[in-house]
Chains A and B, each alone.
Chain A
Amino acid sequence: MPSEHAAPQLDVDQILADPGVRIVVCCGAGGVGKTTTAAALALRAAEQHGRRTVVLTIDPARRLAQSLGLTELDNTPRQVKGIDVEASGGELHAMMLDMKRTFDDVVLQHTDPAKAAEIFANPFYQAMSSTFAGTQEYMAMEKLGQLHARGEWDLIVVDTPPSRSALDFLDAPARLSRFLDGRMLRMLLAPARSGGRSMFSLVTASFGMFSKVVQKVLGAQLLTDLSGFVAALDSMFGGFRQRAEQTYRILQARETAFLLVAAPEPDAVREAAYFAGRLRSERMPLAGLVLNRVHRPTVPALDAEACLVAAERLAEAGGHDSTVDVLRAHAALAQQALREQRVAARFTEAFPQVPAVSVTAQPADVHDVDGLRTIGAAISRL
């Protein structure tokens, strides 16, 4: 078969079958089929390689979620029934991330119930747990850490959040650490720790000025809430940071395989290349590139130009309208395939050593187990 990549062929089955690989992270730009890819790989790991697999999805399309039996967002892995695991002995479980619930669980784990209740009631906690920039990313990593720590899975397949940038989930733990270590937070904490009534009573002149401004802009109520929030969270900060760092180390370990997911479009390929560079500099194990939605003519020998010329002639002669349509459709497909190869080459030229696999575009969207199985087989083609 003619090679479209200078890059080595990505052997997904080898990764899915390797007992040393415990985590597969699918990442890439939005709208490239990340969730479908993650679900298809997880299904294949269970059916073909007999692994006890869980797939952690972030925001699956409704019908895809239903096909996995995920009718509600309950933050617990649910076994997917009706799949073909008799021969392999594998299992597939699936879950959807509930960001707020995961955050609540973290709080509960690190503090006593009374303090937890106080934290949950605080408006800052409510805002932060549902909208903090990076909360979803951080909670996805937190959930991954939890699933991994329980040790009951052979393989965890993770779909990453549809972020502003595909890198957000890598940065979220660091951002949270930075935030928690910030001078600002320590200043806010100082009076709370010393038991002072006014949170700003003990601090420096410039900080006094700041508190004045904050009081003016935001109002005193807000400061009280903020102070309460910070004081209540104080006991948990060490735990937060430790877990974030732990998860980060797991991502760097040999047991993890990152798969970049892209489509042959300029933006998605650029994002994938950026991500590949970033993974390299973070020393994260990049296993390969899955290039989705690639168009491939079934009759490659028939080139677009010749087809169009023939279609033109045939149209003039008349009597073969449906053949004309078919030829024009083929020409369009062949042209698209060429364009896609040029776009994909931008990645493979920059990262020639990264294995890659092209997955042929499906005519319709996938939203059942059979469709996922087809995709899984397509990704694994050798």
Chain B
Amino acid sequence: MRAAERTADPAGTEWPARLHVVTGKGGTGKTSVAAALALALAANGRRTLLVEVEGRQGIAQLFGTDPLPYAERHLTDAPGGGEVRALAVDAEEALLEYLDMFYKLGAAGRALRKLGAIDFATTIAPGLRDVLLTGKVKEATTRTAGQRRAYDAVVLDAPPTGRIGRFLKVTAETARLAKVGPIKTQSEGVAALLRSPMTAVHVVTLLEEMPVQETVDAIAELTQLGFPVGRVIVNAARPPLPAGRPVTAAELRRGLLAAGLPADRDTVAGLAAEARDQWIRRELEDSLRGDLAELGLPLTELPLLPDGVDRAGLAALSRVLVRAD
């Protein structure tokens, strides 16, 4: 297969896949990470596609644009003449497109929608819905324009860790429902791509207990299902705290006096309490880093952006991502 020959590190970075599936527990910032990755992989004249599938319009919110349609649109420029495009995949639209492709439905497709048939089909068979969503992602990933691939990389802002296994496991779901026919063929094609080296599933986490636990669980599940896991990305990592030197009240008071700061009992006790909390926090973070390191996967840490993720912040994150090793 020609596609496979071209997978090795298209951006000349440490991101050797063409389809990047970004998952993570809710609240870990996986949409921001996906966007930063799409931006990073688009640098120097390349073109990437950032895709969302859950109807949340997270990309539009992040970039402050109007809601994304079911169409590939220019999202933003990347440094060195690159381009990030964006697409919000809608299961109903994808089904119509799909039917049209295979059956030339035309006006009949619109009639189906009026009947509620499309809503019905995607509601009653959630597996079908996921096949349609991943099917569209596959199509964009493997599409060619002339001699070239349409996209150097496709980055999918995927469902959260709690649902990612089920979302990617398209064949199992549809095999249960459709034993033969084009849907089955379609889902097998998707499954083959998702399990190939063309794909990498990255898991975003925070240095907090629950997200780390979910990351560990999700990676175990993904590995067991045969999906290639790429990186673990620690998002919003706080700057390293001062080394955990225990400080006595007397020592602190002397220091404060030397600095010409108030050194009354309340100030000393208050500052010592703050320091203690930070050390507890630091120890917890270190132990969580240890848990993540045990996974034996490449690990990337993205800094906390104190003022939220804006366009400049995304650029900063993307620079950290391509540097990562």
B260–A310 CB distance below 8 A: yes
Q: In whole angstroms, how far apart are the Cα atoms of A216 and B25 in the complex? A: 38
Interface string of A7-38 (1 = CB under 8 A from B): 00000000000000000000001111000000
Closest to B129 in A: A133
Closest to A365 in B: B209
A164 at the interface (CB under 8 A from B): yes
B117–A184 CB distance below 8 A: yes
A306–B261 CB distance below 8 A: yes
| Complex interface: chain A residues within 8 A of B246 (CB) | 322
The distance from the CB of B206 to the nearest CB of chain A, in whole angstroms, is 8
A187 at the interface (CB under 8 A from B): yes
Interface residues of A in 311-349 (CB under 8 A from B): 311, 313-314, 317, 319-330, 332-333, 335-336, 339, 343
B247–A322 CB distance below 8 A: yes
A297 at the interface (CB under 8 A from B): yes
A351 at the interface (CB under 8 A from B): no
| Complex interface: chain B residues within 8 A of A265 (CB) | 308
Residue in B126, B245, B267, B308 whose beta carbon sits within 8 Å of that of A322 in the complex: B245
Known: A162-B162, A301-B262, A310-B261. A210 touches B115 (CB 8 A): yes
Closest to A314 in B: B259
B129–A297 CB distance below 8 A: no
Closest to B28 in A: A31
A123–B176 CB distance below 8 A: yes
Q: In whole angstroms, how far apart are the Cα atoms of A35 and B267 in the complex? A: 35
B241 at the interface (CB under 8 A from A): yes
| Complex interface: chain A residues within 8 A of B56 (CB) | 164-165
Closest to B26 in A: A30
A298 at the interface (CB under 8 A from B): yes
Which of A81-89, A218-226, A236-244, A279-287 has 4 or more CB atoms under 8 Å from chain B?
A218-226
Interface string of A172-206 (1 = CB under 8 A from B): 00000001001111010000000000000000001
| Complex interface: chain B residues within 8 A of A225 (CB) | 177
| Complex interface: chain A residues within 8 A of B277 (CB) | 363
The distance from the CB of A123 to the nearest CB of chain B, in whole angstroms, is 5
Q: In whole angstroms, how far apart are the Cα atoms of A364 and B279 in the complex? A: 10
Closest to A178 in B: B119
A120 at the interface (CB under 8 A from B): no
A268 at the interface (CB under 8 A from B): yes
B8 at the interface (CB under 8 A from A): no
B99–A217 CB distance below 8 A: yes
Residue in B178, B213, B262, B280 whose beta carbon sits within 8 Å of that of A302 in the complex: B262
Interface residues of B in 119-171 (CB under 8 A from A): 119-121, 123-127, 129, 159-160, 162, 166
Residue in B29, B124, B183, B247 whose beta carbon sits within 8 Å of that of A226 in the complex: B124
Q: Which of B55, B123, B160, B246 has the most CB of A within 10 A?
A: B123
Closest to B267 in A: A299
The distance from the CB of B47 to the nearest CB of chain A, in whole angstroms, is 28
Known: A132-B123, A164-B56. A124 touches B177 (CB 8 A): yes
Which of B67-75, B194-202, B250-258 has 4 or more CB atoms under 8 Å from chain A?
B250-258
Known: A124-B177, A221-B179. A216 touches B103 (CB 8 A): yes
B275 at the interface (CB under 8 A from A): yes
Q: In whole angstroms, how far apart are the Cα atoms of A207 and B27 in the complex? A: 44
Interface string of B166-210 (1 = CB under 8 A from A): 100000010011111111100000000000000000000010111
The distance from the CB of A217 to the nearest CB of chain B, in whole angstroms, is 6
| Complex interface: chain B residues within 8 A of A266 (CB) | 308-309
A149 at the interface (CB under 8 A from B): no
| Complex interface: chain B residues within 8 A of A267 (CB) | 27, 29
Interface string of A294-306 (1 = CB under 8 A from B): 0001110110001
| Complex interface: chain A residues within 8 A of B55 (CB) | 164
B247–A61 CB distance below 8 A: no
| Complex interface: chain A residues within 8 A of B116 (CB) | 182-184
Closest to B269 in A: A298
| Complex interface: chain B residues within 8 A of A297 (CB) | 270, 274
A246 at the interface (CB under 8 A from B): no
A150 at the interface (CB under 8 A from B): no
| Complex interface: chain A residues within 8 A of B160 (CB) | 30, 162
Interface residues of B in 208-231 (CB under 8 A from A): 208-211, 213
Residue in B61, B126, B183, B206 whose beta carbon sits within 8 Å of that of A127 in the complex: B126
The distance from the CB of B186 to the nearest CB of chain A, in whole angstroms, is 9
A365–B181 CB distance below 8 A: no
B125–A124 CB distance below 8 A: yes
| Complex interface: chain A residues within 8 A of B127 (CB) | 127, 131
A339–B307 CB distance below 8 A: yes
A62 at the interface (CB under 8 A from B): yes
A164–B25 CB distance below 8 A: no
Residue in B26, B173, B184, B258 whose beta carbon sits within 8 Å of that of A320 in the complex: B258
A128 at the interface (CB under 8 A from B): yes
B273 at the interface (CB under 8 A from A): yes
Q: In whole angstroms, how far apart are the Cα atoms of A62 and B209 in the complex? A: 10
A213 at the interface (CB under 8 A from B): yes
Q: In whole angstroms, how far apart are the Cα atoms of A363 and B166 in the complex? A: 34
Interface residues of A in 94-123 (CB under 8 A from B): 123
Known: A219-B180, A219-B181, A310-B259. A31 touches B117 (CB 8 A): no
| Complex interface: chain A residues within 8 A of B267 (CB) | 299, 301-302
B120–A185 CB distance below 8 A: yes
28 of the cross-chain contacts (CB-CB < 8 Å) are: A30-B25, A31-B27, A31-B211, A32-B27, A61-B210, A62-B213, A128-B124, A179-B123, A182-B119, A183-B116, A184-B119, A207-B115, A221-B180, A267-B27, A268-B27, A299-B266, A320-B251, A320-B259, A323-B258, A323-B259, A325-B242, A326-B247, A329-B278, A333-B278, A335-B306, A363-B276, A363-B277, A363-B280
A residues bordering B, Cβ < 8 Å? 29-32, 59, 61-63, 123-124, 126-128, 131-133, 162, 164-165, 179, 182-185, 187, 206-207, 209-210, 213-214, 216-219, 221-222, 225-226, 229, 265-268, 270, 297-299, 301-302, 306-307, 310-311, 313-314, 317, 319-330, 332-333, 335-336, 339, 343, 363-365, 367
Q: Other CB < 8 Å A-B pairs besides A127-B125, A222-B177, A299-B267, 5 of them?
A: A165-B56, A210-B112, A218-B178, A310-B261, A322-B255
